[in-house]
Amino acid sequence: MKIMVIDEQAFFRAGVGHALSEQSDFQVVDCDPAQDVIGQVEATLPDIVLLGSDLGALSRLDLGRKITRYFPNTKVIILSPNADDEELFEVIKTAAVACLQKNTPTEELVNIIRRARSGEYPINEAVMTRPAVAKQVLAEFGNFSSSDRGMEAVIVPLTRRETQVLGYIADGNTNKQIGAVLQISEQTIKNHVSAILRKLNANGRAHAVVVAMRQGWISIRGGGEPVRASDEPGRQI
């Protein structure tokens, strides 16, 4: 697995690289943001990008958004010195798969990297398992400007199956796990996910979940567990 570390502080990059290099299947690639970052990503095509908070003149979130857009097979994990609720909301809009504190223990970072590589989206847990965070994210979406709210006019309703798949996504399941439960192929799940993102004008799975919550298609119980839409045969959402 190829992992690129991007941070302005060479000492931080070296420290993360040294810690991760103990994993026999990890190949760590150093990236100096003073150089052409997109060019380095294109030349390396890493599986995972660890995007630090110190990037000089670069906008970390804009860079994360570009990487996820131009290199869809590269998963972005944001490392922040203060991953609070506001930061989490901004990270969701970049389609990053996770947002962690920069001082996250190596064992936890390795676990998140492996989960991201296998297709999981740990960032969903940060939103879905903490009701206070979920409510703030929903409130932020509710405060979009009028031009942003106009985007809702082109949101296309989801089918029963797509709503069902999105419910499983909200629970933190991978495409493979959803396919096993629904007894359909992983590729079919991928097709459903692509259709969901397109219909909801969402730039990532977590964003799609929040948009669907805002539309009332899925909701959260008091304990923070997402409730999937009804599975009644023939039901369309």
> Does residue 81 share a domain with residue 58?
yes
- 23 within domain boundaries: yes
pLDDT score for 133: 57
In a domain, 124, yes or no: no
Give me the number of domains the chain comprises.
2
User: In degrees rounded to 5, what are phi and psi of residue 161?
Assistant: -65, -40
DSSP string for 108-162: HHHHHHHHHHTT--THHHHHHS-HHHHHHHHHHHHT--HHHHGGGGGPPPPPHHH
Q: Are residues 19 and 55 in the same domain?
A: yes
- Whether 12 maps to a domain, the answer reads yes
Burial of 166 (0-12, 13-18, 19+ CB in 10 A): buried
Domain that holds residue 149: 131-227
Do 182 and 217 lie in one domain? The reply is yes
Q: Is the same domain home to 92 and 159? A: no
pLDDT at 220: 52
Q: What is the CATH number of the domain that holds 80?
A: 3.40.50.2300
Same domain, 111 and 40: yes
Predicted confidence at residue 139, as pLDDT, reads: 62
Give, as one character, the DSSP assignment of residue 55. Answer: -
pLDDT at 121: 81
113 lies in the same domain as 216: no
pLDDT for position 233:
33
Q: Under a CB-based contact definition with an 8 Å cutoff, are residues 94 and 202 in contact?
A: no
User: Can you tell me the distance from the alpha carbon of 54 to that of 210, in angstroms, rounded to the nearest whole number?
Assistant: 28
Nearest to 81, CA basis, from 49, 51, 59: 51
Each as own residue / partner, the long-range contacts of residues 150-159 (CB below 8 Å, 24 or more positions apart, any chain) are: 151/201, 154/201, 155/199, 155/200, 155/201, 155/211, 155/215, 156/199, 156/200, 157/199, 157/236, 157/237, 158/196, 158/199, 158/200, 158/212, 158/217, 158/237, 159/236, 159/237
> Cβ contacts of residue 30 below 8 Å, gap of 6+?
4, 5, 13, 14, 17
Shared domain check, 8 and 105: yes
On whether both 51 and 96 belong to a single domain, the answer is yes
Looking at the structure, do residues 176 and 101 belong to the same domain, yes or no? no
Which residue has 């989960």 as its token pair? 115
> Does some domain include residue 233?
no
Is the domain of 161 the same as that of 65? no
* Co-location of 109 and 137 in the same domain: no
Output the domain CATH number for residue 213: 1.10.10.10
Final residue of a domain: which of 75, 94, 118? 118
List of the chain residues with pLDDT < 50: 144-151, 153, 221-237
93 and 10 in a single domain? The answer is: yes
